[in-house]
Amino acid sequence: MKRLLLVTLTVLLLGNVSVFAKNKIDHLEPAFWWVGMKNTNLQLLVHGENIAELQAEIDYPGVSIEKVSKVENPNYMFIDLKLSTELTAGSFDILFKKGKRTVVKYNYELKERRKGSAERKSFTSADAMYLITPDRFANGNPDNDNVKGLSDGLNREDKSGRHGGDIQGMIDNLDYISDMGFTSIWINPLLENNQTMSYHGYATTDYYKIDERFGSNEEYLNLSKLAEEKGIGIIMDVILNHCGSEHWWMKDMPSKDWINNEGEFISCTHKRTTVQDKYASKEDLKQFTDGWFVKEMPDLNQRNPFMANYLIQNAIWWVEYANLYGIRVDTFPYSDAEFLREWDLRLLAEYPNLNIVGEEWSTNPTIVSYWQKGKQNKDGYDSKLPSLMDFPMQHKLVEALTQEDTWGTGLIRLYELLVNDVLYPDPNNLVIFPDNHDMARIFDQVDRDYDLYKMAMTYVLTMRGIPQVYYGTEILAKSDAGGDHGLLRIDFPGGWAGDKVNAFTGQGLGEQEKNAQAFCKTILNWRKNKEVIHSGKLMHYAPDMGLYSFFRYSDTEKVMVILNKNIESVKLNTKRYHEMLGGKSSVKDIITGETFELNDSFDIPARSTMILEVN
């Protein structure tokens, strides 16, 4: 009776793993999969003490073991499965045997896919993204603030500590996000980061598990479901370049080449130009791609085929599991270029409409455009990446608004930037933004000048591309101009019990903060149904006397956007705009709701922004 109780308890503790001897499975990933995927190959990573001394067997119709690979470390094996196209959903045992005796048994499940999963819609220029750092947005469940076994507990007094924001906090405030006019949420990483000062999420220690201080896999899935019901898609932040130094495999790596530089820290040069610089030394390129960000973030070697396959399958797994709307890839060019192409190809083969945006933090459009799908690069490389973050535009936007307007400075910076769109295969699929989680807030970048802030937000929300707004930017969030990340990522007011200011309800906000929030809300909700802003053409006019204007237009609609930096009103001569305004009689200002007739000229108020629907 005691022996039976012990066996029963062991099975309960290990979930779908049954253990009959000294061998056991510590990790088997991915833990489950789906039938009906386009790629009929599936590779399982199996980790456990001396697991390589066992043989794997499966007896399930439509599933066959193609190959079992063993590596330097006997605690690993990689099982390549072939899944029939006629395969039905169900579960089966993977038997790990020594001779004829079964030593370990793992119950594996193949699930049904959601209807239409492969054809899922993804984010486009019709969307407006809301970027959230979850630890700093809202604490919906204080019970998960401190979790036994996870290194950092709650410490709101520490600018670089855990503040307690979580998935439930985002769920609780979906109405706010929807009412503001956002249609998608890009969330900074939610996967487990079991190491100190990792509230930001960029030091993954388990690729298949949501950090318990944020919630659970099931809560993440529920967030996706509830957001979709409100017309909001979830965009996952994915890190391919590095993991956290406390990741479980760092204590027992499969092979010396699992991590770049054989697991030894060598700092990355961050010289991203080396990827396409025909004069760059091979050593410089190697130090860029193989160097580590910091000691706490080991650099993954995607040239190892097992590592490459692991990362590809992991991304597919999360898209399928959490019904994702899209993916954002951190530090995109830091990974191996050939791997990046394969990663993109494999994801897009399963989800042809999936949009994926990569971070290439360069202000040089030549560097950024190299990575976009369809680019005819001199070296013949095409990464197949659909979208990129438009850092060059963000940089020029700040220069344009803060510099004095002369022949070569000020608004002319924005005007001349757009000529670089000839470098991009699809400039309308770039993500544009006034600020993000790694830089000072736009209100600080324009020296806390509210008029310039409104110009920045207007430009981003009406220009070509996909707009992204960082949480709190809509209420004039302030930051440390020196770049301290802990201060850039402020707690959203109202996200914690006892907050005196609540930006979700407006309670305690200053008048200027309320005005900024209402200003953004008006434009965001207006653009939701404005196809001319989503996919219309663009025509702009050279800045003149501190005034810059551009049109978004189609066969049926026209919108005129005007930014006036002057401290006095400017009389606009409509004859200059005859290509766009010829034959039109009136315009409506979508901010004020005012409609006025188009005469030979009309006044543009000092330091103002206008979005005019042309009738």
Residue burial 234-251, b: 16+ Cβ < 10 Å; e: rest: bbbbbbbbbbbbbbbbee
Virtual CA dihedral for 513, 519, 520, 521, nearest 10 degrees? 100
Q: What is the pLDDT of residues 64-121, one digit of tens each?
A: 999 999 999 999 999 999 999 999 999 999 999 999 999 999 999 999 999 999 999 9
pLDDT at 11 over 50: no
Which segment of 119-128, 281-290, 359-368, 480-489 scores lowest on mean pLDDT? Answer: 480-489
18 domain residue, yes or no: yes
Query: Looking at 93, 111, 129, which one is the last position of a domain?
Result: 111
Domain membership of residue 24 (yes or no) is yes
The Cα 497–Cα 281 span in angstroms is 55
Task: Select from 52, 84, 111 the last residue of a domain.
Answer: 111
- pLDDT-derived band at 583 (thresholds 50, 70, 90) equals confident
Per DSSP, the residues of 266-314 read: -B----GGGGT-TT--HHHHHHHHHSBSSTTSPBB-TTSHHHHHHHHHH
> What is residue 4's predicted lDDT score, i.e. its pLDDT?
41
Beta strands 76-83 and 55-58, pairing class: unpaired
Structure tokens at 151: 């290194």
CA 607, 613, 614, 615: dihedral to nearest 10 degrees? -140
CATH assignment of the domain containing 51 = 2.60.40.10
In a domain, 56, yes or no: yes
Reply yes or no on whether the pLDDT at 440 is more than 80: yes
- Inform me whether the pLDDT recorded for 16 exceeds 90: no
Q: What is the pLDDT of residues 264-308, one digit of tens each?
A: 999 999 999 999 999 999 999 999 999 998 999 999 999 999 999
Domain end call among 60, 80, 111: 111
Q: Which tens digit of pLDDT belongs to each residue from 363-379?
A: 999 999 999 999 999 99
- Residue 348 reports pLDDT greater than 60: yes
On whether residue 165 sits in a domain, the answer given is no
- Name the burial class of residue 371, with classes exposed (0-12), middle (13-18) and buried (19+) by CB atoms within 10 angstroms of its CB: buried
Structure confidence by residue, pLDDT tens digits, 145-171? 999 999 999 999 999 999 999 999 999
Q: Distance of CA 170 to CAs 1, 199, 303, 495, Å? A: 48, 16, 37, 9
CATH number at residue 557: 2.60.40.1180
Residue whose tokens read 């005129």:
560
Q: Are strands 32-34 and 101-111 parallel, antiparallel or unpaired?
A: parallel
**Dist CA 534 CA 124 (whole Å):** 8
Q: What is the DSSP string of 75-119?
A: TEEEEEEEE-TT---EEEEEEEEETTEEEEEEEEEEEPPPTT-TT
Is the whole-model pTM more than 0.85?
yes
Model pLDDT, residue 23: 79
- As a whole number, the mean pLDDT across the chain is 94
Is residue 100 in some structural domain? yes
Q: What is the tally of structural domains in the chain?
A: 2
Write the CB contacts of 458 (distance below 8 Å, at least 6 apart in sequence).
Answer: 523, 561, 563, 609, 611
**Would you name the residues annotated as active-site residues?**
330, 359
Q: Is residue 32 part of a domain?
A: yes
Please, which residues have CB within 8 angstroms of residue 271's CB and are 6 or more apart in sequence? 280, 284, 287, 288
Measured in degrees and rounded to the nearest 5, phi and psi for residue 572 equal: -90, 125
- Does 75 fall in a domain? yes
Query: In DSSP terms, which residues pair with 91 in a beta bridge?
Result: 109
pLDDT attached to residue 333: 96
Provide the pLDDT for residue 197.
87
Contact 389, 357 (CB under 8 A): yes
Domain, as residue range, for 14: 2-111
Give which of 456, 442, 470, 326 is closest to 387, Cα–Cα. Answer: 326
**486 in a domain, yes or no?**
no
Cβ atoms of residues 31 and 208 within 8 Å: yes
Helix ranges, 470-555 (H): 485-488, 511-527, 531-535
Contact 77, 46 (CB under 8 A): yes
